[in-house]
Amino acid sequence: MALAAYQIFGEAGEWRIRHDGQSHNVYQTKEAAFEAAVAAASLALRQGYAVTVTAPSSDTATGASNAS
pLDDT, tens digit only, all 68 positions of the chain? 699 999 999 998 899 999 999 999 999 999 999 999 999 999 999 999 999 999 998 777 666 776 55
Q: What is the pLDDT of residue 12?
A: 86
Rounded distance, CA 31 to CA 21, Å? 21
Rounded to whole angstroms, the maximal C-alpha distance in the chain is 43
User: Of 42, 49, 45, whose CA–CA distance to 2 is shortest?
Assistant: 49
- What is the pTM assigned to this prediction? 0.84
Parse the chain into domains and list their residue ranges.
3-54
Rounded distance, CA 3 to CA 47, Å? 11
